Structure 1
Amino acid sequence: MQFGIFSVGDVTPDPTTGRTPTEHERIKAITAIALKAEEVGLDVFATGEHHNPPFVPSSPTTMLGWIAARTERLILSTSTTLITTNDPVKIAEDYAMLQHLAGGRVDLMMGRGNTGPVYPWFGRDIRDGIPLAIENYALLRRLWHEDVVDWEGRFRSPLQGFTSTPRPLDGVPPFVWHGSIRSPEIAEQAAYYGDGFFANNIFWPKDHFRRLIDLYRRRFAHHGHGTPEQAVVGLGGQVFMRRNSQEAVREFRPYFDAAPVYGNGPSLEEFTEQTPLTVGSPQQVIEKTLTFRETFGDYQRQLFLMDHAGLPLKTVLEQLDLLGEEVVPVLRKEFAALRPQGVADAPTHRALVARRAGEEQRAGAQQ
């Protein structure tokens, strides 16, 4: 089981002071948060990809490359790589390069994005979102798995005798998650390829995401990748902690009420009842996170959103101390104790390399 954090990189005013950080301050804060994640023993740091205000992470590989140079263990990921508006050739090259620089500590999450105006900025039409995701990812896989590619599709110019460079580290591409909040087609895509499925269940009620995950697990087995329990699932979550739950609610409420993403909607109490958001003590975070397994089955990666809604960097770093020191150690122990045999391990580059070697050995023995 992997635990980590993800950032959407929003530049949001602090409602308690009225001050908005500069883009430079926000970028430096995100990188400081990533370094803190490794310091407190987390496994994963993931960044979103956005090309519109009020967000700053327009170049995930640049940010992750900087973090890779300053960390040793942390898995570097994206919480969205826009498979719809990025050229698959550039994705193949950029993330293979990052994989080499980080010594294999890289995976990525494919997503379509949820901002309509971005599509025409990159010459695309949002009405083609699903077909773009399917075609572009099929090409990306070929670019990573085949040394020379001849290809022709609907959305980009053909390729003739093309080799993407550098080739993936150890001949094994980064592990891919497919992220979705509403599209069964994306769950099917993840299942078809035997990739991971990440349900970023931070805004909608759990029953909606349970249906998507159940579909992914059934189709994963249907396509011959293993049992439904062996499917690779990741979940999102949001937490705000203080040692006293009343203090946590009192401090977080103005941030919740003013947040562009969920302010002026359901109350904080209603939202915490219906979604993974937990505002309270570390023990309350532990207890609620453990219920995710009851709803979605055993899973491999849990990422928390912690640096949003205008929260100052000092507060976020305090949150990470609590997460790393008091929450994650207990969650690791509890999830391990509850985990039955046969459940897939969390993906790592080393494990993928070992699996490929085993597959090649078995194929050679059958010849």
Structure 2
Amino acid sequence: RGASAMQFGIFSIGDIATDPTTGNAPSEKERIKAMVAIALKTEELGFDVFATGEHHNVPFVPSSPTTLLGYIAAKTQKLLLSTSTTLITTNDPVKIAEDYAMLQHLADGRVDLMMGRGNTGPVYPWFGKDIRDGLQLAIENYALLRRLWREDVVNWEGKFRTKLQSFTSTPRPLDGVPPFVWHGSIRTPEIAEQAAYYGDGFFANNIFWPASHTKRLVTLYRQRFEHYGHGSADQAIVGLGGQTFIRKNSQDAIREFRPFFDNSDIYGRGPSLEETMEHTPLSVGSPQQVIDRTMRFREDFGDYQRQLFNIDGLGIPAEMALEQIELLGEHVIPVLRKEFDSKRPPHVPEAPTHASLMLKSGQMSGVHAEAAE
């Protein structure tokens, strides 16, 4: 596969839910194995990225993203392994620095991650933190994480963890290049500001909310990215989420998806499926409808670098989730790749990879540079 300017992938939050059409719910083992199967199918069908959430509460299974991604790394060749949240608030930044550098080495650089605060209040005290410090924790912990990856010896003192004296995080990042970081947010301008300040990526989850809401955050990030001198606003690195359910014709898609929607803890008892599709990025229909809906993201938010789809939540059984990946991979992604690539102006950067970050840091030999082209 030739390098595409845009990355397409699947993200899973790893929820366990009952299939309303059968009354069955998977065991924890079945759900974990299903996430692995989804990742392998993602690579098989030519997607670029698989991302897992991080949760420490029922009904979710992915409490240990690096274990899951390390296992997937061993079974894949090209797939970029990412997180759809790494909890920068309740994890120790030292442990994040070590865990993801280790994963980088094992996966030959096929790793990046998305920082998030998480949306579950009770998690904070479980890890000795206070949710009222959430934003401050996100800012302080990430500032430390960056230093741990970029400086061989760190002396550091802050508000929320023990100070560090002459500390070296091991292993060091692969090739001296830390994993690329996206900052994920659904509603917080301070996180868009943080991403812009560092010139990192900004991931707007773009599910549940109208485009006008997400556009405000993305626009803020782009303006501040330019303000901090990282490039023009349209060169900022943006990722978007999306949720989709596809069948060959739209009536079948709606009919099949409706029970999952109606019985969902997230969507159920709220606006109808039709209203939700009208006012949020939820896309249920034929391949062409999903293509059209996703192309609208470009109109709403500008050229961007990463599109992740959620296809496996709400109690959708594993086999059905795998069918979704096949339909996306065969009928949707090839068209989107072509469309997005043809419309992208030359000065808008491609999605970052380990190879492109090495080139940027000037550490690549001529041979490697040619291979990366």
TM more than 0.5: yes
Distance in structure 2 (CA, Å) of the matches to 1:187 and 1:327: 29
1:229–1:344 CA contact under 8 A, matched in 2: no
1:5–1:303 CA contact under 8 A, matched in 2: yes
TM-score (norm 2): 0.96
AA paired with 1:184?
P
Deviation at 1:255, TM superposition (A): 0.2
- CA deviation digits over 1:94-145, x for unaligned, max 9? 0000000000000000000000000000000000000000000000000000
Query: Which of 121, 139, 143 does residue 138 from structure 1 map onto?
Result: 143
Distance in structure 1 (CA, Å) of the matches to 2:83 and 2:64: 11
Deviation at 1:359, TM superposition (A): 11
Whether 1:2 and 2:34 are equivalent positions in the alignment is no
Q: Where do 1:266-345 residues align within 5 Å?
A: 266-345=271-350
1:88–1:140 CA contact under 8 A, matched in 2: yes
Whether 1:207 and 2:212 are equivalent positions in the alignment is yes
What does residue 60 of structure 1 align with? 65
Whether 1:242 and 2:255 are equivalent positions in the alignment is no
Distance in structure 2 (CA, Å) of the matches to 1:41 and 1:260: 32
| Distance of aligned partners of 1:166 and 1:19 in 2 relative to their CA distance in 1, 3 Å threshold | same
Deviation at 1:355, TM superposition (A): 0.5
1:179–1:198 CA contact under 8 A, matched in 2: yes
AA paired with 1:316?
A
AA paired with 1:201?
N
- CA deviation digits over 1:254-307, x for unaligned, max 9? 000011111111110011111111110001000110000000000000000000
> Between Structure 1 and Structure 2, how many residues are aligned?
361
Distance in structure 2 (CA, Å) of the matches to 1:169 and 1:61: 16
AA paired with 1:35?
L
Distance in structure 2 (CA, Å) of the matches to 1:21 and 1:314: 12
Deviation at 1:38, TM superposition (A): 0.2
What does residue 118 of structure 1 align with? 123
- CA deviation digits over 1:1-34, x for unaligned, max 9? 0000100000000000111110010000000000
Q: Secondary structure at the match of 2:320?
A: helix
| Distance of aligned partners of 1:108 and 1:261 in 2 relative to their CA distance in 1, 3 Å threshold | same
What does residue 74 of structure 1 align with? 79
AA paired with 1:26?
R
Whether 1:354 and 2:359 are equivalent positions in the alignment is yes
Whether 1:129 and 2:101 are equivalent positions in the alignment is no
Distance in structure 2 (CA, Å) of the matches to 1:65 and 1:359: 25
Distance in structure 1 (CA, Å) of the matches to 2:266 and 2:83: 20
Distance in structure 2 (CA, Å) of the matches to 1:319 and 1:186: 32
1:80–1:110 CA contact under 8 A, matched in 2: yes
What does residue 202 of structure 2 align with? 197
2:88–2:138 CA contact under 8 A, matched in 1: yes
Distance in structure 1 (CA, Å) of the matches to 2:187 and 2:129: 21
Deviation at 1:342, TM superposition (A): 0.9
Distance in structure 2 (CA, Å) of the matches to 1:242 and 1:73: 28
Whether 1:163 and 2:168 are equivalent positions in the alignment is yes
Deviation at 1:358, TM superposition (A): 7.1
2:73–2:106 CA contact under 8 A, matched in 1: yes
2:358–2:364 CA contact under 8 A, matched in 1: no
TM-score (norm 1): 0.97
AA paired with 2:109?
G
Q: Secondary structure at the match of 1:350?
A: helix
Whether 1:149 and 2:148 are equivalent positions in the alignment is no
Distance in structure 1 (CA, Å) of the matches to 2:267 and 2:197: 34
Runs of 4+ aligned structure 1 residues displaced above 4 Å come to none
**Alpha carbon RMSD of aligned pairs, Å?**
1.2
- CA deviation digits over 1:117-175, x for unaligned, max 9? 00000000000000000000000000000000000000000000000000000000000
AA paired with 2:22?
T
Any unmatched runs of 5+ in structure 1? 361-367
Query: Which of 232, 244, 263 does residue 237 from structure 2 map onto?
Result: 232
AA paired with 2:304?
Y
Q: Secondary structure at the match of 2:147?
A: helix
Deviation at 1:341, TM superposition (A): 1.9
Distance in structure 2 (CA, Å) of the matches to 1:150 and 1:8: 36
1:84–1:132 CA contact under 8 A, matched in 2: yes
Deviation at 1:218, TM superposition (A): 0.4
Query: Which of 97, 102, 116 does residue 102 from structure 2 map onto?
Result: 97
Any unmatched runs of 5+ in structure 2? 1-5, 366-373
Q: Secondary structure at the match of 2:31?
A: helix
Distance in structure 2 (CA, Å) of the matches to 1:61 and 1:72: 17
Distance in structure 1 (CA, Å) of the matches to 2:103 and 2:25: 32
Distance in structure 2 (CA, Å) of the matches to 1:305 and 1:320: 10
| Distance of aligned partners of 1:221 and 1:359 in 2 relative to their CA distance in 1, 3 Å threshold | farther
